[in-house]
């Protein structure tokens, strides 16, 4: 698991994002236990509270539920929620960016063109990895 202690995005956020991806991809099946706080904390060389905070966030999103003494489990529709969450986040990001572009006097067509260029660029980037 790729964790970068430096860099702008907080550790707990990186962890939450990564776990969310795994849940969305179905790596953890419904009602299957996720790694325990401390286990993951040791593996990532991070304080348990930091993992806790990530798990907290995922629980608030409804992806997982925690049982004290037992562990953490993927919620019934956890995978589906995770996918919806990703899409919603993407939509919000796009919306904000588009509004910023409009504020900068860019037309909808121009904004669309820039997006298409980025989409193509992302493909190339993915191919080179």
Does 36 help bind DNA (rule: CB under 7 A)? yes
Does 48 help bind DNA (rule: CB under 7 A)? yes
Residues 6+ apart with CB under 8 A from 25: 79
Cβ nearer to DNA, comparing 5 with 112: 5
Smallest separation (angstroms) from its own copies to the CB of 87? 6
Q: Choosing among DNA, its own copies, none, which partner's interface includes residue 56 (Cβ < 5 to 8 Å by kind)? A: DNA
Q: Which residues of 7-24 are buried (b: 16+ CB within 10 A; e: fewer)?
A: eeeebbebbbbebbebbb
Cβ nearer to its own copies, comparing 52 with 61: 61
User: Do residues 97 and 52 make contact, with C-beta atoms less than 8 angstroms apart?
Assistant: no
Cβ nearer to its own copies, comparing 48 with 106: 106
Cα–Cα distance, 33 to 66 (Å, whole number): 10
**Radius of gyration of the CA atoms of the chain, in A:** 18
**What does the binding site for its own copies look like in residue numbers (CB under 8 A)?**
20-21, 24-25, 82-83, 86-87, 89-91, 93-95, 97-106, 108, 110-112, 114-115, 117-119, 121-123, 125-126
């Amino acid at each position: 698991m790729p964790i970068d202690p430096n860099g702008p995005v907080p550790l707990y956020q990186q962890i939450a994002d990564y776990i969310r991806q795994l849940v969305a991809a179905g790596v953890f099946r419904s009602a299957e236990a996720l790694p325990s706080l401390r286990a993951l904390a040791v593996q990532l060389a991070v304080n348990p509270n930091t993992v806790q905070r990530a798990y907290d966030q995922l629980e608030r999103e409804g992806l997982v539920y925690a049982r004290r003494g037992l562990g953490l489990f993927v919620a019934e529709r956890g995978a589906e929620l995770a996918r919806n969450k990703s899409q919603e986040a993407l939509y919000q990001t796009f919306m904000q960016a588009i509004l910023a572009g409009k504020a900068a006097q860019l037309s909808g067509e121009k904004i669309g063109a820039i997006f298409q260029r980025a989409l193509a660029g992302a493909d190339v980037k993915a191919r080179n990895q």
